[in-house]
Amino acid sequence: MDQDLHCTAERELLEAVSRITTSSTTSPSDEEENQPKAEISCQEGKENLEKDDAQDSSATLSPNSSMTTKELQEYWRNEKRQCKQIKLLFEIPSTRIVEHHLSKYVMYKIIILQTGSFDSNKSVIERRYSDFEKLHRNLLEEFSEEMEDVTFPKKSLTGNFTEEIINERKLAFKDYLRLLYSMKYIRRSKKFIDFLTRPELQEAYGCLRGGQYTKALEILLEVIGLQERLTRGNPVSVVPTLCAIVVCHKDLENSASAFEYGEKALSRLRVHTSHRYYIPLLETMITLAYELGKDFLSLQEKLEEWKKKKDPIRVFTLKELAVREYVQ
């Protein structure tokens, strides 16, 4: 009797999972296509998950008759998490006027929030009018058709520092960022991502090159979360930042933290062993693993395996690669 009930429960759960899986792969309707604010729909989430599985050995389970009830329940929870609507919201709550030598300008404080998940972290950056203007000009060059109906607040000859004009621009820039983010090709473009992350990364790498590892680490840890949210479909793109964090932790003698971020970087390079960071990262991880008493032999085997397949070439150290990033 108990066995029959257990089998029945398994069948019912499997059928429910199959229905959800089928519905999540259905093509979006016209109405859904007109709701572009959602960063990842059920279908996009599934596609991104499949891409990540190709890069990560820990693939998500798919429902089949051999799965236990517990495994089916876990699969069900994972599917629901993937189908959550995840998007970023942009708020500009305040501004400040900066006077520097003969120049004067307004800095807009931008808060970027993620919704649709349990992640409550937020990113805070500052940009001035000329930064927005440069972004708009760059996007027009690459996405002229998509940008056709996007309006940009014009600069006035006078009154740029009045409270009324500043408040108008706060609202205009907030709507502008939300509109850009709603367009898939723009929000995934390097130009848009650079606008939101590059100034902070340049500052962080400048600190790293100057030996200010604590300051560099502080900035990098702030920006990595935003960078990961903006590049969900391209996890390899955050490898340089993760490796810079490894370098900072290592030079600050935080070996355990360095190893932790190194593992994150390596997980993104499993199928990208030709990436310029792969070998320097492996060598650093072998050193860290040895220091921490962890398994370094498996890492050593990967390094030897790579050397057998590739012709000997000059390989920079991880730190040498990091200090070369964002050098103008």
Parallel, antiparallel or unpaired: strands 122-128 and 87-100: unpaired
Shared domain for 300 and 205, answered yes or no, is yes
Q: Residue 328 pLDDT > 50, yes or no?
A: yes
In angstroms, how far is CA 273 from the centroid of its own chain? 20
Q: Among the three residues 162, 188, 214, which one is the final residue of a domain in this structure? A: 188
Q: Among the three residues 135, 156, 188, which one is the final residue of a domain in this structure? A: 188
Six token digits for residue 304 = 């030897």
Shared domain for 222 and 290, answered yes or no, is yes
Shared domain for 225 and 315, answered yes or no, is yes
Residue 11 within a domain: no
pLDDT at 247: 98
Residue 41 within a domain: no
Q: Residue 138 pLDDT > 50, yes or no?
A: yes
Shared domain for 245 and 214, answered yes or no, is yes
Shared domain for 157 and 208, answered yes or no, is no
Q: What CATH number is associated with residue 292? A: 1.25.40.10
Among the ranges given (226-230, 239-243, 260-264), the one the predictor scored with the smallest mean pLDDT: 226-230
pLDDT at 75: 61
Shared domain for 213 and 305, answered yes or no, is yes
Residue 28 within a domain: no
Shared domain for 178 and 222, answered yes or no, is no
pLDDT at 119: 53
Shared domain for 206 and 314, answered yes or no, is yes
Domain count of the fold of the chain? 2
Residue 164 within a domain: yes
Residue 4 within a domain: no
pLDDT at 309: 80
pLDDT band at residue 232 under the 50/70/90 scheme: confident
pLDDT at 53: 41
Q: Among the three residues 149, 170, 188, which one is the final residue of a domain in this structure? A: 188
24 compared with 94, residue with greater pLDDT: 94
pLDDT at 121: 77
Shared domain for 168 and 227, answered yes or no, is no
Distance CA 306, CA 322 (A): 22
Distance CA 126, CA 230 (A): 17
327 compared with 198, residue with greater pLDDT: 198
Q: Residue 26 pLDDT > 50, yes or no?
A: no
Residue 193 within a domain: no
Residue 176 within a domain: yes
pLDDT at 312: 62
Q: What is the mean pLDDT of the chain?
A: 80
Q: What CATH number is associated with residue 97? A: 3.30.1520.10
Shared domain for 285 and 308, answered yes or no, is yes
Give this prediction's pTM.
Answer: 0.72
50 compared with 265, residue with greater pLDDT: 265
Residue 46 within a domain: no
**CA-closest candidate to residue 177, choices 241, 237, 232, 131:** 131
Starting at the earlier edge strand, list the strands of the sheet with 87-100. Answer: 87-100, 103-115, 122-128
Shared domain for 180 and 203, answered yes or no, is no
Tell me the average pLDDT across 2-13: 48
Shared domain for 172 and 203, answered yes or no, is no
Contact assessment for residue 238 and residue 245, using Cβ atoms and an 8 Å cutoff: no
Domain that holds residue 208: 198-324
